[in-house]
Structure 1
Amino acid sequence: MNQRTKFSIGITASILGCLAVGNYRPISQSISSIVSGSPAIAQAQPLKIIFPTRSGTTDLEKKAKAVTNFLSKELQQPVEAVFGDDTAAVEALRANRADVAFLSSRPALKAEQLANARLYLAEVRSTYSGGHTYKSIFVVPKNSPFKSGTDEATLNQLKGKKIVFTSPTSGSGFIFPVAELVEHKLVTDRDRLNGFFGQVTYGGGYEKALQAVLRGQADVAAVSEYTLGSPYITPAEASTLRVLYSISGVPAHGVAIDDDVPVGTRKQLIAAMLKLNQPANNQLLKSLYNSTELVEVNHDKHLKPIRDALQRAGMKP
């Protein structure tokens, strides 16, 4: 995004007090540092990182603060944690009210579109079958008459049945499953689901989608592979479910950095965040979102699967 445009947005947002996330510097300080162009003042401004609340996270503020304290020492400059959902995070990047954000794949595409921010790091979890990618899965009761498989016939068993998707914005819980149905020509796009399924509902989260199947309210649920266990459902509940069909290659969440962060600072930040992989620091990373490691990724390559899935499903980024 054009720097002049982004700074204008930042000034306007500060004057109007439109602070969607976090505690930002005083208006007079924001304006003086921009107008004067003083390097000393600019360097004194904290680097702001947005940490979104995710399912199963607890004490996020305390854990994020520990991470930013570590990064502050590594970078020798102030680093602040701010909080907001993915939508607020993207808007903050666009309006120059934040510099960095932990984002899932679709919001990362939106951050690129609106703020020219790019994903530089991806999270790795032990529950991700692909390291920094994971599977979208169709889940049914263990005693379901549907036969598990990997072909079109497997999905065709669901014609006329009741499905619960995680949410209409979920990558693994909606976008990838719909794209797969389109790929097999079972539906034409996201607006034709009712022509294939007997009933389409949305759980509003992984837990609720899975509970709908466990309680017999739906025949199948579309969720992420890592939800078949704590904190989403109990081991006992998981033992009564099985995977009907899976889709590989869903991009893991990652760390997006705004384009107005200087190249040198960006490289230092990435290096500092990669130090969270070291044994002495790794618990700081694990405590955030159960990630065991951060890995460097190419933004375009990492997010290509979600771009393609959105296109097949007839959805915009």
Structure 2
Amino acid sequence: MALHLNRRTALILSGASALAFGTPLVGQENMLRLAFIPQENPDKLLGDIDAITRWLAEQVGVPVEGFVTIDHAAAVEALRNGDADISFMGALPFVLAEAEIGAVPLLSEVYRGAPSYTGRIFVRRDSGIKTLSDLRGKDIAFADPISESGYLYPLAEFVQAGLVEDAGAAETFFGRMFFAGGYQQAMQAMAEGLVDAAGASQYADLLLTPTQQAQVTWIAESESIPSHLVIARPGLDAGLQDRFVDAMMRLNEPENRDKLRHLYGPDGYVRADSSAYDGVRDMARRYGFLR
């Protein structure tokens, strides 16, 4: 059974978000509730949420509440239960939420000019690990069990290399396999020597300190993945949803671009194209996440 390196951190984060922003209120159309996933340092994320929700409230015209979930699965449940109206989410949890609850894609993130990115396997430069096969019997931290760039796509590189038969057999290849709870947590565990490798987004090394960034490298990269996106629960008031999308698109304007740093730091947003996620749906079926 895979363990969580940062279970205590996740619990603290969940409690902190509730204290900072209150318990999500169900059934209120005169406010908007946003669920955020814990990809970054908890203190930074809470500060970012406060800043961006205050700006969004001015733009949308209703109070906007933000809270941090423990992981992607909890964000999907918040949408299912009506505790959240909108969530920032990776591509894999989106296609699961779409299949399970009819979640609606609204916006896709743009990084370096494209609404796509990759997953990578990172190691320390001084580890002596040069290839995926060198990780046999070694410890690895993935970001989240339903993360595309932080688990599914990096793991697929081991499958394609013939080292792992399928997702269910992964633990027989590695010494130990952990789910750290986010990109930064997985990368930090690798950089500090708690594990030998980390599976995370191609940009996850930017979450390390400059000194740590110089000490790590990557040894494998996945195929292109459609970027993270913003999704809504089914049944959200159409007018409120449209005002939110319009506000988010205004973040692309020069005078508002500085606020993107409060939303995981993308270059901007485009309106989501559901068909762009067909490859993720296929991958999810191949690895047993979808029927």
Q: TM-score if structure 2 supplies the norm length?
A: 0.75
| Residue in structure 2 matching 1:308, options 263, 268, 282 | 282
Say whether 1:162 aligns with 2:148.
no
Equivalent in the alignment of 2:7: none
Native 8 Å contact 1:49 1:79 kept in 2: no
Distance in 2 of aligned mates of 1:240 and 1:278: 36
Shift in CA distance, 282/165, structure 1 to aligned 2, threshold 3 Å: same
Aligned alpha-carbon RMSD (Å): 3.1
Equivalent in the alignment of 1:82: 66
> Given residue 288 of structure 1, which amino acid in structure 2 is its aligned partner?
L
Equivalent in the alignment of 2:34: 49
Identity of aligned residues (%): 28
Distance in 1 of aligned mates of 2:128 and 2:54: 53
> Given residue 121 of structure 2, which amino acid in structure 1 is its aligned partner?
F
Unpaired segments of 5 or more residues in structure 2? 1-21
- Which one has a bigger Cα radius of gyration? 1
Number of positions where the alignment pairs a residue of Structure 1 with one of Structure 2 = 266
Equivalent in the alignment of 2:25: 24
> Given residue 201 of structure 2, which amino acid in structure 1 is its aligned partner?
S
Q: Give the alignment of 1:212-291 within 5 angstroms.
A: 213-214=190-191, 218-229=195-206, 231=207, 233-291=208-266
Say whether 1:104 aligns with 2:81.
no
Equivalent in the alignment of 2:119: 136
Equivalent in the alignment of 1:70: 55
Q: Give the alignment of 1:168-207 within 5 angstroms.
A: 169=145, 170-197=147-174, 199-202=175-178, 204=180, 205-207=182-184
Equivalent position SS for 1:270: helix
> Given residue 287 of structure 2, which amino acid in structure 1 is its aligned partner?
A
Q: TM-score if structure 1 supplies the norm length?
A: 0.70
Q: CA deviation at 1:83?
A: 0.8
Q: CA deviation at 1:194?
A: 4.1
Unpaired segments of 5 or more residues in structure 1? 1-20, 31-41, 148-153
Native 8 Å contact 2:109 2:229 kept in 1: yes
- Bigger shift: 212-221 or 183-192? 212-221
Equivalent position SS for 2:255: coil
Q: CA deviation at 1:137?
A: 1.1
Shift in CA distance, 122/245, structure 1 to aligned 2, threshold 3 Å: same
Native 8 Å contact 1:133 1:248 kept in 2: no
Q: CA deviation at 1:46?
A: 1.9
Equivalent in the alignment of 1:114: 100
> Given residue 24 of structure 1, which amino acid in structure 2 is its aligned partner?
L
Equivalent position SS for 1:87: helix
Equivalent position SS for 1:158: helix
Native 8 Å contact 2:39 2:184 kept in 1: no
